[in-house]
């Protein structure tokens, strides 16, 4: 009998030693960093009902139209290998009623995704993603914390030349009028657009802003911008986010034509771009999607998330990777002024591996101390109106219950000293 060598399906990526060891080191760094910020791992199913992606991603997207691995099983059910992670996480959030278990849910995942597209360097038909989603938090503080966390992850991997691009896509209050305005603009230039953009104009004209076709890029040069049409709420959300990034020392560029390829985004959308990756240079991307949980059958829930292309990331990572540490302190603000004071300290300490947690919601001191105790942190740092007046924060040792006072003027330095003493 003639010997037959069976090989992998074209475009299905496998990771062999010693590369798999490098992947594990990066995975561990990702897990440690996110768990320090309060995220927990969710291990997702590979197969989903096809309807999940048709409803969430949008029927007019390249993924649904051209790239999904879809088939009928033996019960004639239409199933799809997951092409991305967010829809599956939202399905799990709804299916297991996670919103009833906890008001805020921070979840991350690591695993393979599947899309039928032309294989090329860093882009495969089976590819891997690192991703995370936050449910239940509408504040721009959450957007900022997530983006700072990603910037810290890339810094911890010693990546250079990774730039953050930001935009706001508005909301259901301001985007419809902008879509009509943009559609009128595109109608006048319809002949200059590619076939895909012409076909999508009725359902999602914003996709023309993101098209890579040179003709379309030229056609939308003077297109109206969503940044000029934002409602007051969306504008304040975006300006608040940008302000926090500046306080945290994270560089960014506002790109008013950044729309992303998925239909579910609202307000904040972003990409981390790496110049060393060529045309396919987005190493991480995501944004806010405050309507998707409800659209997939759940209760209206604000959400924010991202995904990192693992293969593209590893093209940028050097061989040496060091692990991050676990949390050591909970920063407890009592009021907006205290929150604004503690946010840059929270960011700075996490950047130095002295991992802290910070609640953005105005909870009682009792509930925040209870949460800190449950998280197992060593110290709770309390700042409220009285502490702001006195200029001293309360530092509570969660093991011994002893309390001391720390000057607000040197709070970050004092906490770093406590961390090094641990």
Contact between 86 and 265 (Cβ < 8 Å): no
Rounded to two decimals, the pTM is 0.85
Report pLDDT digits (tens) over 336-361: 999 999 999 999 988 877 788 998 98
Reported as half-sphere exposure (CB side, CA atoms, 13 A), residue 317 has a value of 26
> Radius of gyration of the chain from Cα atoms?
23
Looking at the DSSP bridge assignments, the partners of residue 129 are: 111, 309
Q: Which tens digits make up the pLDDT trace of 295-326?
A: 999 999 999 999 999 999 999 987 665 444 45
Domain 19-173+230-314 identical in fold to domain 329-421: no
List, in sequence order, every residue forming a beta bridge with 288; answer none if it has no partner: 266, 304
Residue 283, both tokens? 């190493």
Q: What is the reported pLDDT for 270? A: 96
Q: Which of 100, 99, 63, 65 is nearest to 83 (CA)?
A: 63
- Which CATH code is given to the segment(s) 329-421? 3.40.50.800
What's the pLDDT at 34? 96
* pLDDT score, position 421: 81
Lowest-pLDDT range of 6-20, 54-68, 259-273, 399-413 = 54-68
CATH of the domain spanning 19-173+230-314: 3.30.930.10
**CA dist., res. 41 & res. 233, Å (int):** 32
Please give the DSSP secondary-structure letter assigned to residue 323. P
Domain boundaries, the chain: 19-173+230-314, 175-226, 329-421
Nearest to 386 by CA among 351, 338, 339: 338
Cα atoms in the 13 Å half-sphere on the side-chain side of 331: 28
Alpha-carbon gap, residue 178 to 168, rounded angstroms: 12
pLDDT digits (tens, 9 = 90+) for 136-165: 999 999 999 999 999 999 999 989 889 999
Higher pLDDT among residues 183 and 59, named by residue: 183
Q: What is the mean pLDDT of residues 399-421?
A: 91
Whole-number Cα distances in Å, 102 to 96, 105, 135, 188, 371: 12, 6, 10, 50, 12
């Amino acid at each position: 009998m003639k010997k037959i060598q069976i090989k992998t399906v074209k475009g299905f990526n496998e990771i062999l030693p010693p590369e798999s060891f490098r992947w594990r080191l990066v995975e561990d760094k990702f897990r440690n960093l996110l768990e320090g910020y309060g995220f927990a791992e969710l291990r997702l199913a590979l197969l989903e009902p096809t309807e999940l992606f048709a409803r969430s991603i949008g029927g007019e997207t390249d993924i649904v139209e051209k790239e999904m691995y879809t088939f009928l099983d033996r019960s004639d059910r239409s199933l799809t290998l997951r092409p991305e992670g967010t829809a599956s996480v939202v399905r799990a959030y709804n299916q297991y009623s996670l919103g009833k278990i906890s008001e805020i849910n921070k979840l991350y995942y690591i695993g393979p995704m599947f899309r039928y597209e032309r294989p090329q360097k860093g882009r495969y038909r089976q590819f891997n993603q690192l991703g995370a989603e936050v449910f239940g938090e509408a504040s721009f503080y959450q957007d900022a914390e997530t983006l700072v966390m990603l910037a810290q992850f890339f810094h911890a991997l010693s990546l250079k030349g990774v730039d953050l691009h930001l935009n706001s896509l508005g909301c259901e209050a301001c985007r419809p009028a902008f879509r009509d305005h943009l559609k009128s603009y595109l109608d006048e230039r319809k002949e200059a657009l590619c076939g895909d953009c012409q076909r999508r104009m009725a359902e999602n004209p914003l996709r023309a802003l993101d098209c890579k076709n040179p003709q379309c890029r030229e056609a939308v040069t003077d297109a109206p911008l969503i940044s000029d049409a934002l409602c007051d709420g969306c504008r304040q959300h975006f300006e608040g986010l940008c302000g926090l990034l500046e306080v945290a020392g994270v560089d960014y560029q506002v790109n008013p034509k950044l729309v992303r390829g998925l239909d579910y985004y609202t307000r904040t959308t972003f990409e981390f771009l790496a110049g060393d990756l060529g045309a396919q240079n987005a190493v991480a991307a995501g944004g806010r999607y405050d309507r998707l949980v409800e659209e997939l059958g759940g209760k209206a829930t604000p959400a924010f998330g991202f995904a990192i292309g693992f293969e593209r990331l590893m093209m940028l990572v050097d061989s040496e990777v060091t692990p991050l540490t676990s949390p050591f302190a909970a920063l407890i603000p009592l009021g907006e002024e205290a929150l604004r004071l503690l946010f840059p300290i929270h960011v700075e300490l996490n950047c130095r591996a002295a991992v802290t947690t910070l609640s953005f919601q105005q909870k009682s001191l009792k509930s925040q101390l209870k949460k800190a105790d449950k998280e197992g942190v060593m110290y709770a740092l309390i700042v409220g109106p009285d502490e702001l007046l006195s200029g001293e924060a309360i530092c509570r040792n969660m093991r011994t219950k002893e309390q001391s006072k720390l000057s607000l003027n040197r709070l970050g330095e004092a906490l770093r000293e406590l961390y090094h003493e641990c």
